[in-house]
Structure 1
Amino acid sequence: MNDMTHPAAMTDGVSAYEAGHFDAAYTLFEKLTKDDDPIAWFWLAVMHGNGDGVPVDKVRGFECCLRAAELGNVQAQTNLGVMYIQGDGVPADAEKGLNWLCSAAEAGDTGAQFNAATLLSAGKVVEKDLPRAADFYRMAAESGYFPAQARLGFSYRNGFGVAKDRCKAFLWLTLAAQHGAGTAINMLEGLVSEMSPDELYNGQELVTAWMAQHGAEQQEPRFQVETQ
């Protein structure tokens, strides 16, 4: 569950945290965890991880984040996935990290979608799975996150996890390029030189339809995992 058990108390806790009154915030969040409030567990994880009003304790931060994730808090699931992958407060375990990222990704978290796709496409710490990576890139791209749009365009151009499709590649690379993504701009220039007039027309029709439906709204996940 993601629902707060005591909304008013949670609001007070968040307000105290944002005002820098960490002692008061911690007291409120800790009290709420007695009822297993997942958001309270999430905030305790943040405070222990960052050292906000308490000594930095990565292990305790992980434990609190794990409890929040187990209770269904999607943001905690994303954070937990990154913790497992990076070995932050817990021994590194890429498979567990990927599983938590996938849970959050399926629940609609854009950051988790992009991070899961990055891991699956790189194949460095988990088994490479290009079709699954493309699916997650698509989820994030459709939410308006332009780095995912660039990656999805690259996938369509090269047939990585999807059938080659220059028109769809044109759509996603154009959307990413409109936000100044240098890699997308370069790929788009190369793609256009390869496309027939009919393909260019059809690709532009896809862009026009996308913009009519979605506008220019874009999203930016909180962080990205590194696979080096």
Structure 2
Amino acid sequence: MLFSRVLLGCMSVFCMVAGLVTMPNLIHAQNTENPYRVQRSHTSEPQDMLSRLRLLAETGDGDACYTLGAKYINGDGLPQDYNKGVQWLKLAAEKNNAFAQFDLARVYLVGFGEFKKNKKTAYFWANLAAAHDTLSPRELDKAMKLRNLVEDELTEDEVNSTQSAATDWLERHKANMP
């Protein structure tokens, strides 16, 4: 009986943060402005649409990179490949895509595929996602909660150095700001 209560208590705590770190359904774009918005389907997408998406992603379109990464991670129209998906998310994050930055923070918070758990890297990407004014209030709240969750697990020096790195990153990437 005691074991059951302890187990239920642990499950409750887990469920409170599960919305921030649930895997493998990592990606679910909510950006209604994104013309490449991810919509999980049970059928394969026509190859010409995927080809166009890949071409846009390869030319550096941040939204296309994000969507292609999401499709690889979710196995939506493409063979599921977490590592390729995260690589595309990284490219999108470098283009200052807030959704990719948020999802990368989640990837590094728990470790995913070949990408090992790294709380400083998770905090870095969560800081950048939380700095966006392009997110809806709900999405911004999620990004801030994730940032605060990770911050609580870092030392003061780690927090300060990571915040400084995020500030430097923002200065270098001003050209990619929406």
In structure 1, what is the Cα distance between the partners aligned to 2:175 and 2:118? 23
In structure 2, what is the Cα distance between the partners aligned to 1:190 and 1:153? 11
Partner of 2:131: 178
Q: TM-score, normalised by structure 1?
A: 0.51
Deviates more, 1:138-147 or 1:96-105: 96-105
Residues 205 and 218 of structure 1: CA distance in aligned 2, closer, same or farther (over 3 Å) = same
1:165 to partner: Cα distance = 1.8
Partner of 1:209: 168
In structure 1, what is the Cα distance between the partners aligned to 2:110 and 2:71? 18
Residues 107 and 159 of structure 1: CA distance in aligned 2, closer, same or farther (over 3 Å) = same
Q: Which amino acid aligns with 1:94?
A: E
Partner of 1:194: 153
In structure 2, what is the Cα distance between the partners aligned to 1:130 and 1:95? 21
One of 57, 75, 88 as aligned partner of 1:123: 75
Identity %: 26
In structure 2, what is the Cα distance between the partners aligned to 1:131 and 1:199? 27
Question: Rg: which structure is higher?
Answer: 1
SS in 2 for 1:94: coil
In structure 1, what is the Cα distance between the partners aligned to 2:112 and 2:53? 21
1:205 to partner: Cα distance = 2.5
Question: Which of 1 and 2 has higher RCO (CA within 8 Å, sep 6+)?
Answer: 2
Gaps of 5+ in 1: 1-78, 87-91, 220-228
Partner of 2:62: 110
Task: Output the aligned Cα RMSD.
Answer: 2.8
Output aligned runs, 1:40-189, within 5 Å.
93-94=44-45, 96=47, 97-161=49-113, 162-179=115-132, 180=135, 181-189=140-148
In structure 1, what is the Cα distance between the partners aligned to 2:70 and 2:100? 9
Residues 194 and 95 of structure 1: CA distance in aligned 2, closer, same or farther (over 3 Å) = farther
